[in-house]
């Protein structure tokens, strides 16, 4: 299984040479199974580039596209109106979220419709299906098994654990846990069990430990807590994601360096980064 990051920022996309190393798109990633199955997590502004790449491979649309949404905050939906497969009659997109299907459709219809967008979701020619995934539930989509965990974030958010069987036994596993605020006591953090022995943990590193006290209650975490969680959960690798749009490359590089001092198998996410597990 491999994951490719198409957007790694939180809150708002950014641009300029000071953001060129890690990129400026908001959260989006695609997962590819060993046999070619695909799954998408979040629809931030990076989804636009992913959609354009998909349209270069006509065979991609022969299978359903599974799009898992952690929650419905705007930074995780910005790319959806510009997702090229949405406008192809050959595409079938299956949306998974924590909300019941009618409510999820309603939320995305508000995003794409007057006065905010000239084309309504219903007018786009792709086939669309909406499914709910609740905390504690596991679903099978193609080659993947996906389970969900509720996170501490305003209006709620989900973490996803994506697993695929390895040839010869065992499984590869990726945990996506952005948009969460850590508890005061790690023993009270359900992510410890949820991420246990994952190959890859992608974790919310929106704030430095120094900045965090000013933003406590906003629903985000720090690179330092991420390293502690990675050790406690015995994960193989840690990726710092949902990067602060106010942090320039040099500041993120410093975060990355400090995090490696706590948990050596750490790196900061960046646009176009590919990791195989």
Task: Please tell me what DSSP assigns to residue 115.
Answer: T
pLDDT score at 7: 98
pLDDT of residue 11: 96
**For 243-257, b where at least 16 C-beta lie within 10 A, e where not — what string?**
bbbebbbeebeebbe
- Peptide bond just before 2 cis, omega within 30 deg: no
In whole angstroms, give the CA distance from residue 98 to residue 82. 23
Question: CA nearest 203: which of 184, 223, 217?
Answer: 223
For residue 124, how many C-alpha atoms fall within 13 Å in the half-sphere facing its CB? Answer: 26
Predicted pLDDT of residue 43: 98
pLDDT of 273 reads: 98
pLDDT tens digit sequence for 111-128: 998 899 999 999 999 999
Residue 121 has a pLDDT of: 97
Q: What is the pLDDT of residues 225-274, one digit of tens each?
A: 999 999 999 999 999 999 999 999 999 999 999 999 999 999 999 999 99
Helix, strand or coil, per DSSP, at residue 71: coil
> How far apart, in whole angstroms, are the C-alpha atoms of residue 142 and residue 247?
37
Q: Do residues 35 and 22 make contact, with C-beta atoms less than 8 angstroms apart?
A: no
Low-confidence stretches of the chain (pLDDT beneath 50)? none
What are the residue boundaries of the structural domains of the chain, listed by start? 2-276
Of 185, 177, 261, the closest CA to residue 227 belongs to: 261
- pLDDT number for residue 58: 79
Which positions ≥6 away from 247 have C-beta within 8 Å?
255
Give CA–CA dist 131/68, Å, rounded. 10
Nearest Cα residue to 78 out of 165, 15, 169, 12: 12
Taking the C-alpha atoms of residue 63 and residue 67, their distance in angstroms, rounded to an integer, is 13
**CATH fold group of domain 2-276:** Metallo-beta-lactamase; Chain A (3.60.15)
């Amino acid at each position: 299984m491999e994951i490719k990051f198409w957007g790694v920022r939180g809150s708002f996309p950014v641009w300029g040479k000071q953001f060129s190393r890690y990129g400026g798109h908001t959260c989006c990633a695609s997962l590819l199974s060993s046999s070619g199955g695909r799954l998408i997590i979040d629809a931030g502004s990076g989804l636009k580039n992913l959609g354009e790449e998909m349209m270069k491979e006509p065979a991609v649309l022969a299978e359903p596209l599974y799009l898992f949404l952690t929650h419905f905050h705007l930074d995780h939906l910005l790319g959806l109106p510009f997702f090229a497969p949405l406008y192809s009659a050959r595409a079938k997109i299956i949306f998974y979220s924590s909300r019941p299907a009618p409510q999820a459709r309603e939320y995305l219809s508000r995003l794409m419709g007057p006065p905010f967008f000239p084309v309504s979701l219903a007018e786009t020619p792709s086939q669309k299906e909406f499914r709910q995934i609740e905390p504690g539930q596991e679903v099978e989509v193609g080659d993947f098994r996906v389970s969900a965990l509720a996170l501490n974030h305003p209006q709620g958010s989900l973490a996803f654990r994506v697993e695929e069987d390895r040839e010869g036994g065992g499984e590869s596993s990726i945990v996506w846990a952005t948009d969460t605020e850590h508890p005061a006591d790690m023993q009270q953090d359900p992510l410890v069990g949820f991420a246990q022995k994952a190959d890859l943990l992608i974790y919310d590193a929106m704030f430095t430990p120094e900045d965090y006290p000013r933003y406590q209650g906003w629903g985000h975490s720090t690179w330092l807590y991420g390293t502690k969680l990675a050790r406690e959960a015995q994960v193989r690798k840690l990726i710092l994601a949902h990067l602060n749009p106010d942090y320039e490359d040099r500041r993120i590089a410093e975060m990355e360096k400090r995090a490696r001092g706590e948990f050596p198998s750490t790196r900061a996410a960046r646009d176009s980064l590919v990791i195989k597990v």
